Structure 1
Amino acid sequence: MLQHLCTRISRRGPALLGKPLHYLPRRLQSPVVEAVLNRVLAEPIREGELDFLHQRRLQLWVPDLDYRLTLSFVGERLSLLPDSEADVVIRCGLNDLIRLSAGQRDPDTLFFQRRLLITGDTELGLECKNLLDRLEPGLQPAWLRRLLQLLAAILQRAESSPSTKSGARPGG
């Protein structure tokens, strides 16, 4: 029963999460997303590791959510921009993004499996991917780390499902 539930969450989670994101206005989403990103990335921001994003636009695209975030580094913080042209686009499915954020997947592996795609400015894309390599899950706020670990465990359990082993890959 638990196995079945994990598999359903893995396969249908992106579609279920995508709907509320589309109905919630950006002007309400932006302050929350900015606050979370700036909190999660506080140490790399302090250490100047995001300075390469000054005057540049990075877009994170989660295609199974049909969701895009366009970011830039303004002043001393990440800011969301209205969706516009980006210098670099990082594209990754929600389930892989969860695993990556929980430290269960490495960006290089996803990149070489073509599950993490980077298009646009090659040099900027490499800097973004290298930043992903350096980010440690231990720097995340405890609540976020616990949530990501829970979601990653659900995805891991779904992967071990007999129906998944027969060739179907759960939403990732």
Structure 2
Amino acid sequence: MLPLLCRTLSERGPALLRPPLRYLPHRLQTPLMEALLNRGLAEPIKDGELDFLAHRCLQLWVPDLDYRLSLGYAGGRLTLLRDSEADVVIRCALNDLIRLSAGERDPDTLFFQRRLLITGDTELGLECKNLLDRLEPGRQPPWLQRLLRLLATVLAQAGRAPAPKAGAGLQDNT
């Protein structure tokens, strides 16, 4: 039963998150997302590992959420940019992004499976991918590590659930 519940959550989670992300005004998202990103990446920021992003625009695109997050880096802080043309775009589905952040998938594997796509400035994209390689879960704040482990456990349980039979299961109302 638990794997089936986890499978449903993993399949429908992005659809549940899409409306709040779409309708929450940018002026409310900005301080929340900036605080979350700067706290979650505090150690790499302190170590100067994001300096290569200075005066550049990185866009993270999560297509199953229909969400794009454009980031800049200045004064030792990540900032959300609005209506900026991205120098590089990193595209990844939510569940893969969770697994990547939890350290359960590596960027090279996702990249070669074409589940992590990088477009735009090739050199900047390579630096971003190398940064993803260096971001170990142990460098994240404990609260973020716990959250990512929980989400990764849900996704692992989802993978243990039997595939639904054709025509069976919950009806999709999206």
For normalisation by structure 2, the TM-score amounts to 0.91
- In 2, the alpha carbon distance for the partners of 1:83 and 1:67 equals 13
- In 2, the alpha carbon distance for the partners of 1:78 and 1:153 equals 29
Counterpart for residue 133 of structure 1: 133
Counterpart for residue 143 of structure 1: 143
- In 1, the alpha carbon distance for the partners of 2:100 and 2:151 equals 11
Give 3-state SS (helix, strand or coil) of 1:150's partner.
helix
Deviation readout 1:37-88 (Å, 9 max, x if unpaired): 1111111111111111011100000000000010011111111100321000
Alpha carbons 2:4, 2:162 under 8 Å: kept: no
- In 1, the alpha carbon distance for the partners of 2:75 and 2:158 equals 42
Say yes or no: does 1:64 pair with 2:77. no
Report sequence identity in percent. 74
Alpha carbons 1:30, 1:80 under 8 Å: kept: yes
Q: How many residue pairs were aligned?
A: 164
Alpha carbons 1:69, 1:83 under 8 Å: kept: no
Q: Which contiguous aligned blocks of 4+ residues in structure 1 show a shift greater than 2 angstroms? A: none
Stretches of structure 1 lacking an aligned partner (at least 5 in a row): 165-172
Name the Cα RMSD after superposition: 1.0
Stretches of structure 2 lacking an aligned partner (at least 5 in a row): 165-174
1:81 maps to amino acid = L
Counterpart for residue 73 of structure 1: 73
- In 2, the alpha carbon distance for the partners of 1:4 and 1:16 equals 17
